[in-house]
Amino acid sequence: MAGTSLALCAHGGPLADRCAALAGLDRRLFADAGATHQLVAEVRALLEERKPACVILPEPDAEHEGERALAMAAAAALARLPETEARLGDPDAPPQSSHQLHELCQARARARAERLGVARASAVLSSFNKCRDLAANLEAIRAQTLPFEAVVVVDNASHDGSSELVRRDFPEVLLVVMPHSQYGACETFNIGFASARSALVAILDDDIVMPPAWLERSTARLAAEPASTAIVSTQVVEPGMPESYRLSKTVNEERYMSTFRGCASLARHAAIAKAGYYDERLFIYGNERDLTCRLLNLGFRVLQYPGVSVFHKTPFGIKLGKRSLYYHARNAFLSMLKYAPAAELIRLPFLALFQVLLRGEKKEAEGSVRDAVGTIGIGRSVRETPGAWWVLVKATASILYNLPYCWKHRQPCTHEDFELPLQ
């Protein structure tokens, strides 16, 4: 099939009618724009296999979501295949270079968003030594059916070529390179938040892959909420996630909650700015719940939205190791010292022991933990991390050291959505 034209189509329609053969393309792959997390990679693999002389793309502002998703994914895939000619929407349309095609698709998609009055969003990522994952992430960001107004990457002085890759392959990205790698994720994210200028901010980990409709669906859901909803937290799928957990009705129901997934959430920029962004003293882990407590105290809410999901390449549950255990244990108590009502704070150590440390893995896999995902596997971490009890002693010492800081910033949260970091 090399040297022939290839028409990409998300479902039966004008393109399929005009082009007799789809060169083996499985239309089911693109039937649901929210179901395929690596659509750009799938399209590129198809193009590399078929080696067509010309690719005919669907319209990026088509009515059908699948058509829009495929158009944007193909444009992103073609950016790495500059020798392939492309046409937009019609086999008789003027041929475009890959660069021209991407710009045209972005412009058409933005024009559609403006006609619909959709709020603009910036993507903010903090990254460290995940060059390949970051590239896949940025490709998926390029492929969004609702384009981001800006993309901000704060690189924590990676030494794996991440910053060079962004400058070379993603020149549209606003790249901030830290002078050394000792900054915490809280601080680097705050720099990214402060660099964004749009009404909405997508808070993203560097090792996720989002489907093309992630921003479009998340923005629509947030727009349907009252102004008091500050964040929509989308569904996350991770390696090793038990099917019983992934499909749990309790885990996946739409609800207001007391934290959010920092790897894939969409926030009102003004709300998180008013709350003060992340507390940099936490350094890493637990910062989402800490910020949510301040949002709740300001009258905002956080919505769990299972209507769209991302694939997060970090394995399910707490990351094993001394550093992860230290910050998860320490920060949970620092945040609660600031925000938990006195009666809840007194109960917390006992509840943490019996409901978290001694909680069985089977119970976790069944979906008993809905929001406090940072506690999933912490009992296993204590059992399997060498010197775990000494790590917990050091975490306790840091908690005691930070008591004056916590007391100074104490604002007990009595909002109906507040929960201790247990379930």
Predicted confidence band at 24 (pLDDT cuts at 50, 70, 90)?
very low
Query: pLDDT at residue 11 above 50?
Result: no
| Burial 161-176, CB ≥16 within 10 A → b, else e | ebbebbeeebeebbbb
Provide the phi-psi class of 411: left if phi over 0, else alpha when psi is between -120 and 50, else beta. beta
Question: pLDDT tens for residues 42-86?
Answer: 788 888 887 888 888 888 998 888 788 888 888 888 887 777 888
Report the pLDDT averaged over residues 322-351: 95
Closest CA to 28 of 59, 66, 54: 66
Q: What confidence tens digit (pLDDT) does each residue in 381-423 have?
A: 999 999 999 999 999 999 999 999 999 999 999 999 999 998 7
Asked if residue 331 has pLDDT above 90, the reply is yes
Distance CA 196, CA 243 (A): 37
SS3 string, the chain, reads CCCCEEECCCCCCHHHHHCCCCCCCCHHHHCCCCCCCCHHHHHHHHHHHHCCCEEEECCCCCCCHHHHHHHHHHHHHHCCCCCCEEEECCCCCCCECHHHHHHHHHHHHHHHHHHHCCCCEEEEEEECCCHHHHHHHHHHHHCCCCCCCEEEEEECCCCCCHHHHHHHHCCCCEEEECCCCCCCHHHHHHHHHHHCCCCEEEEEECCEECCCCHHHHHHHHHHCCCCCEEEEEEEEECCCCCHHHHCCHHHHCCEEECCCCCCEEEEEHHHHHHCCCCCHHHCCCCHHHHHHHHHHHCCCEEEEEEEEEEEECCCCCCCCCHHHHHHHHHHHHHHHHHHCCHHHHHHHHHHHHHHHHCCCHHHHHCCCCCCCHHHCCHHHHHHHCCCHHHHHHHHHHHHHHCHHHHHHCCCCCCCCCCCCCCC
Distance between CA atoms of residues 265 and 317, nearest Å: 18
pLDDT of residue 10 exceeding 70, the answer is: no
103 or 331, higher pLDDT? 331
Q: What is the pLDDT of residue 68?
A: 85
Instruction: Identify the sign of the CA torsion 56, 60, 64, 66.
Output: positive
**Gap between the Cα atoms of 179 and 62, Å rounded:** 44
User: Is residue 36 very low, low, confident or very high in pLDDT (cuts 50, 70, 90)?
Assistant: low
**Among 36-40, 332-336, 350-354, the least confident range:** 36-40
The CATH class for the domain spanning 118-312 reads alpha beta
For 269, phi and psi rounded to 5 degrees? -60, -45
Tell me what pLDDT residue 277 has. Answer: 98
- pLDDT level of residue 31 (50, 70, 90 thresholds): very low
Compare 200 and 26 and report the one with higher pLDDT: 200
Q: Is residue 32 a contact partner of residue 61, using CB atoms and an 8 Å limit? A: no
pLDDT at 9: 61
Please state, for a pLDDT cut of 90, what percent of the chain lies above it. 64
User: Quick one: pLDDT at residue 22?
Assistant: 32
pLDDT single digits (tens) 340-372: 999 999 999 898 888 888 888 888 777 778 888
Candidate from 113-127, 246-260, 328-342, 404-418 with smallest mean pLDDT:
246-260
Q: What tens digit of pLDDT does each residue of 125-150 get?
A: 999 999 999 999 999 999 999 999 99
Look at residue 327 in the predicted model and tell me its pLDDT: 97
Quote the CA–CA distance of 14 and 92 in Å, as a whole number.
Answer: 13
- pLDDT surpasses 60 at 112: yes
Q: Which two tokens stand for residue 298?
A: 């300001």
Extract the tokens encoding 39: 């659509």
Average model confidence (pLDDT) across the chain: 88
pLDDT in tens, 184-237: 999 999 999 999 999 999 999 999 999 889 999 999 999 999 999 999 999 999
* pLDDT of 26 strictly over 50: no
Distance between CA atoms of residues 98 and 101, nearest Å: 5
- Name the token pair of 292: 């949510």
